[in-house]
Structure 1
Amino acid sequence: MATVKVTKEMAADALRGIDWAAVDATTDEEIARQVAGNPDAAPILSDAELERATFGERVKAIRERLRLTQPAFAERFGFPTASLRDWEQGRRKPDAATTAYLAVIEHEPEAVMRALEKSRAA
């Protein structure tokens, strides 16, 4: 994979070249037509699809930061691997309690692991 470096000046030049009035005037129908006509364009996601995708990316980032595979993460924190896979791929979103548990894992993974180890040893 090739690396492309972009300087702040290059980004500023690109932004100066944008006709923001034309962008603001573009209708949803025109955007949908442009996306449909471009095979390289990502599909337009609904708000619900976008929320699921964003949540899935967050779960995956937590797991990758801990350097764990899906099966290892699921086993360590007590999730079914299939559920974790569904969350990461945006097919499903966990319930509120599991979402809160994932937030604790995200911010304090070592504390969760210690608590689980003590619980399993008891």
Structure 2
Amino acid sequence: MGATHVNVIVRNPADPDRTWESEFLVDTGAIDSLVPRQHLEAIGIAPVGRRVYELADGTSRPYDHGLARIEFMDEIVAGRVVFAEDDTEPLLGLTALESAGIEVDPRNERLKRLSAVRLKSLTPV
């Protein structure tokens, strides 16, 4: 299976004219979205907390996180953004995808819009 990328605009919710735009790797294994620290700081997004994240290699480490408007595929969502190292590839996480009603089509390596946004669990609780 290959990689899926999407163009994303990260916007400072307190000052919507301050933005950063880039191609993000879509990562359904990541809950939150990840953005290089230098770009978040450049648009005035400050950390609001810190939490421990588990990385793809199984290790865990603490990262700062903040809040941003995340825009992609003509959708706007608000979400948590993780302050990553400056040379890190930006990741679009599952929370942003689900909030926008977008899912990954792994066969075609594309994103597709759901006919309706889910308000219930897919499996019974």
User: Smaller-chain TM-score range?
Assistant: under 0.3
Of Structure 1 and Structure 2, the greater helix share is in 1
| TM-score normalised per structure 2 | 0.21
Of Structure 1 and Structure 2, the greater strand share is in 2
| TM-score normalised per structure 1 | 0.21
Structure whose CA Rg is larger: 1
